[in-house]
Amino acid sequence: MSTILDGKALAASIRGKIREEAARLPRRPGIAVLLVGEDPASELYVKNKAKDCVECGFLSQLFDFPDTVSEEELLGTVSKLNADPAIDGVLVQLPLPACMSERRIIEAIAPEKDVDAFHPLNVGRMVHGDSLLWPCTPSGIAVMLDSYAIPVDGKICVMVGRSDIVGKPMGLLLLRRHGTVIYCHRHTPDLAAMTRQADILIVAAGRQGLIRADMVKPGAAVVDVAMNRDPVTGKFTGDVCFDEVKDIASFITPVPGGVGPMTRAMLMQNVLTLAKRHMGLLPGA
Ligand code: ADP
């Protein structure tokens, strides 16, 4: 039986520390969130972010646009927020409607207010290994590994999924911590042969039931990023068959209650970091 990585409890304790630190700053850290359209999942994420901001004592502003909004109007709002001294972080809730260029909007955010670390300048800094911020899901996973004293240095780390938001930066973060990183994706011919090598297995493919017990090395740490809606029960499940893998892994994240709450906590951490930098309390631009 493995240790369950309790992201929910860890995230609550991190939020408590962020709140204490924020209260000592000369002004409240501030985040602006831009939401376009009426995607129910995005609306829920945005609601949760606002709740977390209240708990951490942050200022949060929501800009809620209909899906008929023009790219120019969005860009105008981003530009105003870039210049607003009360706002430390600007977040554009993805996905945007298909007719819009996500790249164009993300690239309009001032790199020093890019709280998700999606701007190409910040992605470049990640590749160099000297980024001040990392995207929330990978950094939440790294904090979780640290807090359960799971070493990365010298370990074989298999990342299933190579998205810009999760897989790619996660691999870079593990590399920075001296892991030997293998990326798997849709074109990987024998996924099981790769995953069976993993000391640390991180899965972000969005395929319910993808990782079975016989694909996991005994004693591995298994992190499940996915949130799939089970078509039968309607409940959220990950990509890992939790019930069978928990008897083989030494550590495993639950879904929900593992990576999700850590991702939210890291957004608050990133806002705090940007705010401290804007207040001259951290080095950097
Ligand atoms: P997320 O934003 O959670 O990372 P995406 O849908 O953007 O999710 O990316 C899914 C990733 O999972 C892609 O990189 C894709 O190649 C990978 N993937 C999907 N199905 C499989 C599979 N059966 N085996 C291995 N990788 C897969």
The predicted pLDDT at position 76 comes to: 98
Spacing, Cα 170 to ligand 1 middle (Å):
13
Do 106 and 140 lie in a common domain?
Answer: no
- Structural domain total, the chain: 2
**198 occurs within a structural domain:** yes
At 201, is the secondary structure helix, strand, or coil? Answer: strand
Q: Which of 95, 111, 127 is the last residue of a domain?
A: 111
Spacing, Cα 167 to ligand 1 middle (Å):
8
**190 occurs within a structural domain:** yes
210 lines ligand 1 (CB under 6 A): yes
Q: Are strands 156-160 and 59-65 parallel, antiparallel or unpaired?
A: unpaired
Spacing, Cα 225 to ligand 1 middle (Å):
11
- Active-site choice (52, 88, 114, 116): 116
Spacing, Cα 144 to ligand 1 middle (Å):
22
- Tell me if 174 sits within 8 A of 159, measured CB to CB: yes
Which residue CA neighbors atom 9 of ligand 1 most closely? 163
Do 79 and 157 lie in a common domain?
Answer: no
Along the chain (285 residues), what's the average pLDDT of each consecutive run of 10 residues?
96 98 98 96 95 98 97 98 98 95 97 98 95 97 98 98 98 97 98 98 98 98 97 96 98 98 98 97 77
At 211, is the secondary structure helix, strand, or coil? Answer: strand
Which is the closest atom of ligand 1 to the Cα of 166? 4
Report pTM.
Answer: 0.97
- Tell me if 49 sits within 8 A of 60, measured CB to CB: yes
The predicted pLDDT at position 27 comes to: 98
Give the CATH number, domain containing residue 233: 3.40.50.720
- Active-site choice (49, 155, 217, 246): 49
Which is the closest atom of ligand 1 to the Cα of 225? 3
Give the CATH number, domain containing residue 59: 3.40.50.10860
Which is the closest atom of ligand 1 to the Cα of 205? 12
Which residue CA neighbors atom 23 of ligand 1 most closely? 186
Residue 76 domain boundaries: 26-111
- CA–CA separation, 140 vs 120, rounded Å? 21
- Tell me if 33 sits within 8 A of 74, measured CB to CB: no
188 lines ligand 1 (CB under 6 A): yes
Q: Are strands 3-4 and 200-203 parallel, antiparallel or unpaired?
A: unpaired
Do 157 and 214 lie in a common domain?
Answer: yes
161 lines ligand 1 (CB under 6 A): yes
230 flagged as catalytic:
no
Q: Look up residue 149 and give its amino acid.
A: A
The predicted pLDDT at position 44 comes to: 93
Do 190 and 93 lie in a common domain?
Answer: no
- Tell me if 92 sits within 8 A of 98, measured CB to CB: no
Do 145 and 240 lie in a common domain?
Answer: yes
